[in-house]
Amino acid sequence: MQLHLVPHPQAPPADPAFEVWADIEHVHMLGQVSTTNIWFCVRAPIGRFVIPEAAEEARADGLWQTTCFEAFLRHPGDEGYGEWNFSPSGEWAAYDFAGYRDGRADSELAHPPYIRLQDSLTWWQLGVTIALDQGPWQLALAAVLEEEDGTKSYWALAHPAGDKPDFHAADCFAAKLA
């Protein structure tokens, strides 16, 4: 499945010509766990962006303060949801929320995400693999892209009305995983 992200109208990229999209493959496994592969793709040279230096793959907070990709998942009808943050450095974060921006706690993960970065000169992609319980899932995808000139753009499948991006809003859960 391919999904296109759009920039928030109050925080667009410096060059409106570049694009962001995600290719998703949800693989059902035997038992209770499935894997989801997400390739976040950016149609612009990687050198244009602030890319955090490679680090040991480990949990870290505050990744959204520079170039970062995010996935939010919840079961249909649930108030609670999970948030995943993925940095090009290899660092990641995973949180559980009881409700809209409420009751945040670090997610207990049996399997940390697998993150990889690929540069294709005119575009680049960040791939992540995460383990999920059986669905169905509602999905929100997001990206914070910081450019070398200081411009920060905020991308999502859908944005709620308002002057500021809010990736946690219900309107952002615009896709489904079976």
Q: How confident is the model at residue 134 (pLDDT cuts 50, 70, 90)?
A: confident
Q: How many domains does the chain have?
A: 1
Q: What is the pLDDT of residues 66-117, one digit of tens each?
A: 999 999 999 999 999 999 999 999 999 999 999 999 999 999 998 899 999 9
Beta strand 33-42 pairing with 68-74:
unpaired
Report pLDDT digits (tens) over 34-58: 889 999 999 999 999 999 998 888 9
DSSP assignment of 126-174: EEEEEEEES--EEEEEEEEEEBTTS-EEEEES---SSSS--TTSGGG--
What percentage of residues in the chain have a pLDDT greater than 90? 83
CA distance 142 to 1: 16
Per-residue confidence (pLDDT) for residue 15, from 0 to 100: 87
- CATH number of the CATH domain containing 15: 2.60.40.1190
The average confidence (pLDDT) of the chain is 93
Residue 85 in 3-state DSSP?
Answer: strand
Q: Tell me the residue range of the domain where 104 lies.
A: 2-177
**Has residue 156 got a pLDDT over 70?**
yes
